[in-house]
Amino acid sequence: MSTALPKIAWIGLGIMGSPMAENLIKAGYQVTGYTLEQDKLDRLAKNGGTAASSIAEAVKGAEVIITMVPASPQVEAVAYGEAGILANAKSGALLIDMSSITPQTSIDLAKNAKEKGIRVLDAPVSGGEAGAIEAVLSIMVGGEQADFDEAKPILEALGKTIILCGPHGSGQTVKAANQLIVAVNIQACAEAVVFLEKSGVDLKAALEVLNGGLAGSTVLTRKKDNFLNRDFRPGFRIDLHHKDMGIVTDAARTVGAALPVGAVVAQLVASLRAQGDGGLDHSALLRAVERLSGQSVQA
């Protein structure tokens, strides 16, 4: 019985995808990658991976294919068509889609892939750029138990909390809930920051003590410095969180779940994006609260 690690094709080398692919290389996997930006391909090659010139070249001979792209349209673009994954991957390959997309897109992908003899897991992640770099992501998975068991060693090189949540689409449903919680949490933190500053309290001291009690959270731990320094370089862009809030509000409507607070925060995210801040980190929700509170916002 061979103990050789499976050959991996990685499609999508953005803020999350690049460090994740590099962590697999560090773990000993042979990774061939494809993305649209040449500088990202150069980075992969510099870090020990192999750059491919097309999806077909990347997936040729790969036993595992991982996709990490922005949204459902991009997943469909890389999966389908003559130049896509399903048309070029070998039968028996395992496709792990780690993008955050609609549950229905994942269900449809699994069904279409099965006709080609390709197995699929939806495996979106939470933890942002820092979690990707540190390989401590939370990974929520949908699909078959046997496929999950096969994928788990690979996923363990990328994250710390790795859970099979149910059949195809379940990982995406849990990710949608995750994005709801994160957005509401960031909004609450942003409102607290403005309230504290307007009250003349030492913000750094206040956030430190708050994070040590029941108000503490991973969100506050990760984003505290963003708030303090008004540093909104993107770890997870408002544009993407806007997409995710659309997914969760639509999915909730479908199943009849009320999201009264989530709906308000979804509108605040949309408003921030409309004001030109879509490319900033989602901690930039602070900018929206500052505007509503009559504070000047840094350019």
**Active site (catalytic) residues:** 175
Q: Which of 155, 151, 150, 154 is nearest to 138 (CA)?
A: 155
**Quick one: which of 151, 150, 155 has its CA closest to 139?**
155
Smallest Cα–Cα separation from 53: which of 21, 83, 94? 83
254's tokens: 């479908």
> What does the angle CA 49 – CA 50 – CA 55 come to, to the nearest 5 degrees?
125
| CA nearest to 205, candidates 219, 193, 217, 214 | 193
Q: How many CA atoms lie within 13 Å of 47's alpha carbon, on the beta-carbon side?
A: 22
Sign of CA dihedral 238, 241, 247, 248: negative
Q: Please give the angle made by the CA atoms of 287, 284 and 174, to the nearest 5 degrees.
A: 135
Tell me the two tokens of residue 276: 């030109």
Give kind and range of the element (H or E) at residue 191: helix 170-198
Neighbours of 132 (CB within 10 A): 25
DSSP 11: E
State the pairing for strand pair 125-126/94-97.
Answer: unpaired
Buried b (16+ CB within 10 A) or exposed e, 223-232: bbebbeeeeb
